[in-house]
Amino acid sequence: QMALTPCPSTLHSANSALNLNQDDFLYHFGLSRTSVDLEKLFGDVKFVCCGGSPTRFEHYAKEFSKESGLPVSANLSRSDRFVIYKTGPVLWINHGMGAPSLSIMMVETLKLIHYARATDVTFIRLGTSGGVGVTPGSVVVTSAPVNGELNEEHVQFIAGKKVTREARLDSRLQQDLLAMGEELSLPVVSGKTLCADDFYEGQMRLDGYFCDYSSNDKFAFLRQLHEMGVRNIEMESTCFSSFTCRAGIPAAIVCVTLLNRMDGDQVTLTKEDYLDFETRPFKLVTAFIRQQLSI
């Protein structure tokens, strides 16, 4: 196992080979350096907002356009894997479910920003999650992500070796988002986020097809998480934090909780409550972005 690699403090692309190629096909976006003038189209980007669902992020982009008065683009992705919408200097991109899907989106988005020569870019992940000892509908601003071994690290396997990297988020951005949430009277909380590798066993659910542990095991684990400051569970936070950290990009994660896992495993919200809860991260993040952009 390699030693933990600390995050840099400045934006960079570690792969010098990127500058040697005249063209580069961002396969999962269906975009290349020669097919699109990336600098003209994306050079003004200041915020990248991402989350799992393509339809949700199309809706978010259109709603932000209404709020801000900024025009919204058509879907700029030429692939069926991800959607990309642009409202002024804000990109809205879905990343699918789990770290592998997110990692593909992150690499190609970072390359896109690199080729576009965009500067001072901030990444924010908006999503849904399972709560740990918090009321459903709580908006968790992640203080630190932890992996399945409960370490604040992202693990990759490269060339047959386990590579462990720091997973860190921007503390000032966290504080600004928490303050904005309180100003909006949203139920915001700060806490660690468990990044599980799957939805069922990795999150100690009892309702999966496989289950080799007891209800007592589940609740003992959830209590352990709560005692170490974990307030929600999702499947992307360590990868997202590690990649932005390595690139020197300030980033934050804002996820609403759809249930308290201490009370059950299944989401049983009414449609009205689900829609209300789902919009809370959007309300918080867009209010912050409008403040930063003075719009």
186 is in an annotated binding site: no
Element holding 237 (H helix, E strand): helix 237-247
Distance CA 273, CA 278 (A): 8
Question: Which CA distances in Å does 223 have to 147, 200, 203, 212, 282?
Answer: 16, 18, 13, 19, 29
Long-range pairs, 4-10, Cβ under 8 A, ≥24: 4/153, 4/164, 4/165, 4/166, 5/163, 5/164, 5/165, 5/166, 5/246, 6/166, 7/166, 7/168, 7/245, 7/246, 7/248, 8/246, 8/247, 8/248, 9/248, 10/248
246 is in an annotated binding site: no
30 is in an annotated binding site: no
Six token digits for residue 268: 């049983």
290 is in an annotated binding site: no
127 is in an annotated binding site: yes
Question: Which CA distances in Å does 51 have to 21, 125, 186, 194?
Answer: 30, 6, 20, 16
> Residue ranges for the binding site for substrate?
203, 205
> Residue ranges for the binding site for phosphate?
81, 125-128
> Residue ranges for the binding site?
81, 125-128, 203, 205
